[in-house]
């Protein structure tokens, strides 16, 4: 072979072990992709495991939501009231927040049971609709109207109420739902 920089011939060794530059390069390529293969598969396994957990969680949430959708209106009402009572908003002094929730629960019961959009209507509209269509007798319609009116005064008017009155309202609402559910 001829070295063009020196203009002199170069003797090449016959054995590869005598070639130092090739042996140096060989060390660079000894750690192949096989060394990274376990890390790759462990990472891939973790990703699949996380995806599986997310899918199972979503499926569990969907089942939980569908269980509540399949409840009858009175069962859903009692479940919501029990959930509300567990929050202890009355003991914390948050009666305004309590009445926001309890009036929504009552309106949702009316919406589900009577197929009437009570969540979008005012207390007087609900009361008038019940009386006009003879869905309920006037006494029950006025009773729920009075409750919703009282709830609106507490929520928006700053009306102060005692703990005993709150408990009486919860008892009234439970008995009203029980009476309405028996009648119709």
3-class SS at 3? Answer: strand
Pairing assessment for the beta strands 8-9 and 2-3 based on DSSP bridges: antiparallel
Cα(87)–Cα(11) distance, integer angstroms: 91
Specify the pTM: 0.60
As a whole number of angstroms, the distance between CA 142 and CA 123 comes to 10
105 within 8 A of 80, measured Cβ to Cβ: yes
Please report how the helices 138-157 and 163-183 are oriented relative to each other, as an axis angle in degrees rounded to 10: 150
User: What's the confidence (pLDDT) of residue 94?
Assistant: 86
pLDDT of residue 101: 92
Per-residue model confidence (pLDDT) at position 105:
92
Cβ atoms of 177 and 109 within 8 Å: the answer is yes
Q: What would you report as the CA-atom Rg of the chain, rounded to the nearest whole angstrom?
A: 38
Map out the domains of the chain as residue ranges. 1-70, 72-183
Which phi and psi angles does 9 have, rounded to 5°?
-70, 150
Q: Show pLDDT as tens, one digit a residue, over the chain (184 residues).
A: 545 566 666 666 666 565 555 555 555 555 566 778 888 899 999 999 999 999 999 888 877 665 666 778 888 889 999 999 899 888 888 888 888 999 999 989 888 888 888 888 888 888 788 778 777 777 887 888 888 888 888 888 878 888 888 889 999 999 988 888 775 5
- Tell me the torsion sign for CA atoms 129, 130, 131, 133: positive
């Amino acid at each position: 072979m001829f070295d063009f920089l020196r203009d002199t011939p170069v003797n090449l060794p016959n054995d590869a072990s005598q070639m130092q530059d090739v042996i140096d390069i060989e060390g660079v390529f000894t750690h192949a992709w096989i060394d990274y293969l376990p890390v790759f598969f462990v990472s891939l396994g973790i990703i699949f495991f996380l995806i599986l957990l997310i899918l199972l969680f979503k499926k569990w949430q969907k089942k939980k939501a569908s269980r509540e959708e399949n409840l009858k209106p009175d069962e859903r009402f009692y479940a919501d009231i029990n959930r509300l009572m567990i929050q202890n908003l009355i003991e914390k002094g948050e009666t305004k927040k309590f009445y926001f929730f309890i009036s929504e629960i009552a309106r949702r019961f009316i919406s589900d049971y009577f197929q009437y959009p009570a969540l979008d209507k005012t207390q007087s509209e609900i009361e008038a609709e019940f009386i006009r269509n003879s869905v309920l007798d006037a006494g029950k319609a006025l009773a729920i109207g009075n409750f919703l009116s009282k709830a609106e005064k507490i929520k928006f008017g700053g009306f102060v109420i005692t703990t005993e009155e709150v408990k009486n309202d919860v008892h009234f609402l439970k008995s009203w739902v029980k009476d309405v559910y028996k009648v119709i």
